[in-house]
Structure 1
């Protein structure tokens, strides 16, 4: 049975259809995140959920990333049904948010009901990104495409979703904000139906190695640990950047522009990524060093113009890390365990980001902006991990979980 790397390149028309549909789904997937992030906690407060329950409820997604997520990705992959898994999780996510919207308000048990339904929803929502990444990488290999131009539409939709939320915020009653989230999730569910089948149960490669062998492979472990450290180094930035900028005297519009600058730079990098010629491992090393420099600069009291320039480094600290890590996954992980590999990657990232977020609160209280020095060390360690594993990653492609 030929491996996936031996599958002939499909026709140009099929390649374009695949790219368009995946880009559309990435757009709806991250567009929904762009509506959920600013609206969900506001809705929780509006329907009478107190601060304790809001904290408990918003802690659910990180927990499901390293508990339910690997189980769901593994289940879908063992049944050679990545597309089916994406469709199922997309519709279940939309259903979950619609159920939240229909809950009777003012009941004594509302916080418990919201918590339980949100747990069930997140168990199927959080696996959507790794399932989609695994599906996209299989298509990238099959059709001879590049990951970056597909993924950029997710970033663009996130910005659009956040901007639309900002415009609608004053026009919609807070208790009705859940319908925007549910509606965007429904768009994603509909878009998932357009995804082309990639898995052929009859022609699929038999699994000759246990996916758990990935966790015994030094190269793969280096990839997920490096990714977790570099991406996790953004924890303090995500939590405290807006607070620090507000304390520095910047208004809401300026703060929004600073955030958008970073995402726009990320989109540009994804668009240019097909031109990159360096090995993926070197891209990750460059990204790690860029992140370290970015955090050291962010710790300083910078003029607004300089801060805006530093924000453009998000393209390197986040975007280049994503491109490099996906390149390493494509080269080092066999296609038949890609979804489980993506699950492990996301789970590891969730654990590290969660720990970094918890630690950030305590450290920020003591050191303020000095917390970014710790984030710089964290990013640099991620680069060191990949640098030490670069030979293994370059010379042993597709060894992990290959069954020999």
Structure 2
């Protein structure tokens, strides 16, 4: 990170972006702790809860690229981010007034949609800003995971003390907090303290839609989907293996700690390896991790396997964000990142449909199917590397 100039304020653009990342996943963490139980307390069936969780993903799938294109055409990406967070702060208030399936479905979808679609915009904007200023995106993004972990423990404790009735006020309050913090975001497109010009690259998405560009993004999206599917059943499978709840929570937390750690260190790693090399390592590690999990290992093996989350998810995700930035210009930064998120969501839907019944049929051996899925993803990434080398050696080291 470059030395701070005398004229630069103490609260730098990086610090303001870090504060926002710290807040962005808090409401989601609160939902992960108690949201399913809250839905059930409202009298919703498991099928209805599944629909409520799936609809926002499907709608986001359709809107990601559109919102990214709008953000790229704005004078600054900040405008779309703040607007989305404002909607994401106000709409959840309506959850206090809906009690039936259709009302909850509509309000829940409208509440999540603005936040879901601005996620790629935030990642693209922060990546571009840090590259121009000579700083690092990884540590900023890592604080999002830290905020998520802090909220997991805090919400769990608060609900244990005050009961489930506190969940909705907490969820709405954290959504409002995120909206307020968004107003502190900096301008992302140029400004004082910049060391480097914007990276040159494709100026429209069609120009870069070639196999060498698509294959690693599709490949890692397959790896990402295995995390989504198996995380949904991981705690249940561990309970069936005889692990107690007081062991499951720390095991899940280990993965989040590992994710944050690799993001903090990513800048040093990316200077030595190309983006696709890191994505390929992520996929290969995922194959190994899921094969091991399929054998239902004991606690002494589960601890290092959970730490591998740093490689199977965080390393691959960061590699993809850097890879996209290497080959695209500011004109399509958010649109390209939105396309990547669309691939992840599409693969997750495919994986949920294909693997959901396998978990009930095969139990922990469903991990072997996940390993095969991740292996196909690794092959796609490897094919991309054989087709087209890094754009330039210097940029390869950057990610």
Q: TM-score, normalised by structure 2?
A: 0.89
Deviation at 1:204, TM superposition (A): 10
Q: Deviations over 1:349-402 (max 9, x none)?
A: 0010111112222112222222111211222222222222125553447xxxxx
Any gaps of 5 or more consecutive residues in structure 2? Answer: 192-196, 393-399
Residue 234 (str. 1) matches residue 227 (str. 2):
yes
Q: Deviations over 1:255-297 (max 9, x none)?
A: 0011011111111111111211111111111111111100111
CA 1:141–1:9 in 2, change beyond 3 Å: closer, same or farther?
farther
2:251 touches 2:306 (CA, 8 Å); kept in 1? yes
What is the 5 A alignment of 1:266-277?
266-276=259-269, 277=272
TM superposition outliers: structure 1 runs of 4+ over 6 Å: 203-208
What is the 5 A alignment of 1:3-402?
11=5, 13=8, 17-101=12-96, 103=97, 105=99, 110-199=100-189, 209-214=203-208, 216-276=209-269, 277-390=272-385, 394-396=389-391
2:202 touches 2:328 (CA, 8 Å); kept in 1? no
1:10 touches 1:143 (CA, 8 Å); kept in 2? no
CA 1:337–1:104 in 2, change beyond 3 Å: closer, same or farther?
closer
Q: How many residues align?
A: 383
Q: Deviations over 1:207-259 (max 9, x none)?
A: 99433444x32233123202211211213321221011111111111000110
CA 1:352–1:9 in 2, change beyond 3 Å: closer, same or farther?
farther
1:223 touches 1:328 (CA, 8 Å); kept in 2? no
CA 1:353–1:300 in 2, change beyond 3 Å: closer, same or farther?
same
2:262 touches 2:314 (CA, 8 Å); kept in 1? yes
1:291 touches 1:376 (CA, 8 Å); kept in 2? yes
1:100 touches 1:117 (CA, 8 Å); kept in 2? yes
Mapped partners of 2:70, 2:64: distance in 1: 10
Mapped partners of 1:81, 1:321: distance in 2: 28
The two structures, once aligned, show a CA RMSD in angstroms of: 2.6
Deviation at 1:113, TM superposition (A): 1.5
Mapped partners of 1:205, 1:275: distance in 2: 20
Deviation at 1:10, TM superposition (A): 9.0
Any gaps of 5 or more consecutive residues in structure 1? Answer: 1-7, 398-404
Q: SS of the residue aligned with 1:367?
A: helix
Q: TM-score, normalised by structure 1?
A: 0.88
1:228 touches 1:349 (CA, 8 Å); kept in 2? yes
Deviation at 1:313, TM superposition (A): 0.5
Q: Deviations over 1:130-150 (max 9, x none)?
A: 111011111122111222111
Match of 2:396 in 1: none
1:73 touches 1:340 (CA, 8 Å); kept in 2? yes
Q: SS of the residue aligned with 2:160?
A: coil
Mapped partners of 1:251, 1:233: distance in 2: 24
Deviation at 1:173, TM superposition (A): 4.1
2:21 touches 2:143 (CA, 8 Å); kept in 1? yes
Deviation at 1:128, TM superposition (A): 2.3
Mapped partners of 1:144, 1:352: distance in 2: 34
Mapped partners of 1:157, 1:206: distance in 2: 33
Deviation at 1:205, TM superposition (A): 11
Q: Deviations over 1:149-170 (max 9, x none)?
A: 1111011111111111110122
2:282 touches 2:311 (CA, 8 Å); kept in 1? yes
